[in-house]
């Protein structure tokens, strides 16, 4: 198994927002989640806003430490692993506004030849290497985020809502790019999305998250055609897929 996580839990304390007071209460942002990611099998994680998808993604790449649970990459326990990279939900906040694309890649020890090659892979002219994030469109910034994730030659990329902040016309281009990278570079993707149409187009398997728990998982065609859980049925009923 490329990646497997077992019984991952993350609690957050709740605060009274009006008085910034710690209420002493905790809630489970991720509640006893176990998942397997097989090499070459694209896994979609769906669920409504606040269901814990980003928290789970950040745990899997090692940005957040879980309260409990075990994560394994190729059978070996890890907390951080350069083979697992992430494309963040908001390119605007994940790209450093003070760095050009090239300086960002240079920080990852990528030389100019490799950087030019990366630009070629993600479909941007090498002149973009000297641009700052503010000089690029949303779609271009998301391409650069993908280039940054690819820079260290990962085996697995976790893409958190990679197209939700983009125009519909640009969404298709980025999704096509991801589809191409899967086969050309032999990278396995975990794709987080609240859009079932996106998941059904790009993913082989899907896990449905609700209130921090995985309520259902399996092959995409199966789960979307025969949802067993009432929450999955609700999601399907409210999505554009039906």
Ligand X SMILES: Nc1ncnc2c1ncn2[C@@H]1O[C@H](COP(=O)(O)OP(=O)(O)OP(=O)(O)O)[C@@H](O)[C@H]1O
Site residues (vs Mg ion, CB under 5 A): 53-54
Beta carbon of residue 2, minimum distance to ligand X (angstroms, whole number): 22
Q: Which does 221 bind (CB under 5 to 8 A by kind): Mg ion, ligand X, none?
A: none
The least distance separating ligand X from the CB of residue 57, rounded to whole angstroms, comes to: 8
List of residues 6+ apart from 197 with CB closer than 8 A: 239, 240, 241
Per rule CB under 6 A, is residue 93 in the interface with ligand X? Answer: no
Minimum CB distance to ligand X, residue 152 (Å):
24
Q: Does 210 bind ligand X (CB under 6 A)?
A: no
The closest of 70, 29, 60, 22 to 47, measured between CA atoms, is 29
Least distance (Å) between residue 65 CB and ligand X? 12
Residue selected from 16, 26, 39, 50 as contacting ligand X according to rule CB under 6 A: 50
Q: How far is the CB of 103 from Mg ion (least distance, A)?
A: 28
- Within 10 angstroms of residue 79's Cβ, the number of other Cβ atoms is 9
Q: How many CB atoms lie within 10 A of CB 195?
A: 17
Residue 47: contacted member of Mg ion, ligand X, none (CB under 5 to 8 Å, by partner type): ligand X
**Could you tell me which stretch among 36-44, 51-59, 100-108, 234-242 binds ligand X (CB under 6 A)?**
51-59
The residue within the footprint of ligand X, chosen from 53, 141, 143, 210 (CB under 6 A), is 53
Task: Using CB under 6 A, pick the residue from 143, 148, 194, 210 that binds ligand X.
Answer: 194
How many residues bind ligand X (CB under 6 A)? The answer is 12
Query: Which span sits near ligand X by CB under 6 A: 1-9, 36-44, 46-54, 102-110?
Result: 46-54
Does 193 engage in binding with ligand X (CB under 6 A)? Answer: no
Transcribe the chain into DSSP letters.
--EEEEEEEEEEEEEETTTTEEEEEEEEEEEEEEEEE-TT--EEEE--TTSSHHHHHHHHHTSS--SEEEEEETTEE-S--TTEEEE-S-HHHHS-TTS-HHHHHHTTT--HHHHHHHHHHHT--GGGGG--GGGS-HHHHHHHHHHHHHTT--SEEEEESTTTTS-HHHHHHHHHHHHHHHHHS--EEEEEES-HHHHHHH-SEEEEEETTEEEEEEEHHHHHHS--SHHHHHHHHHSTT-
Q: Is 54 in the site for ligand X (CB under 6 A)?
A: yes
**Residue 12, contacted partner among ligand X, Mg ion, none, CB below 5-8 A by kind:** ligand X
- Tokens representing 235? 């999601």
Asked whether position 12 contacts ligand X by CB under 6 A, the answer is yes
Q: Given the complex with ligand X, which of 155 and 194 has the nearer CB atom?
A: 194
* Contact residues: ligand X, CB under 6 A: 12, 29, 47, 49-55, 89, 194
């Amino acid at each position: 198994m490329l990646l497997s996580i077992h019984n991952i839990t993350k609690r957050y304390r709740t605060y009274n927002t009006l008085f910034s007071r710690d209420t002493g209460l905790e809630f489970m942002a991720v509640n006893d989640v176990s998942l397997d990611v097989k090499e070459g099998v694209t896994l979609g994680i769906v669920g409504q806003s606040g269901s814990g998808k980003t928290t789970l993604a950040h745990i899997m790449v090692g940005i957040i430490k879980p309260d409990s649970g075990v994560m394994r990459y190729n059978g070996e326990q890890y907390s951080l692993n350069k083979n697992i990279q992430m494309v963040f939900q908001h390119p605007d906040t994940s790209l450093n506004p003070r760095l050009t694309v090239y300086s960002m890649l240079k920080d990852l020890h990528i030389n100019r030849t490799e950087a030019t090659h990366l630009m070629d892979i993600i479909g941007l002219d090498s002149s973009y290497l000297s641009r700052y994030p503010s000089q690029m469109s949303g779609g271009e910034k998301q391409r650069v985020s993908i280039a940054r994730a690819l820079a260290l030659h990962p085996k697995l990329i976790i893409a958190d809502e990679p197209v939700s902040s983009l125009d519909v016309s640009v969404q298709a281009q980025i999704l096509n790019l991801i589809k191409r990278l899967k086969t050309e570079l032999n990278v396995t993707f975990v794709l987080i999305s609240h859009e079932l149409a996106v998941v059904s187009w790009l993913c082989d398997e899907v896990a449905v998250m609700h209130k921090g728990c995985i309520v259902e998982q399996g092959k995409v065609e199966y789960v979307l055609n025969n949802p067993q859980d009432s929450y999955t049925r609700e999601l399907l009923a409210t999505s554009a897929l039906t």
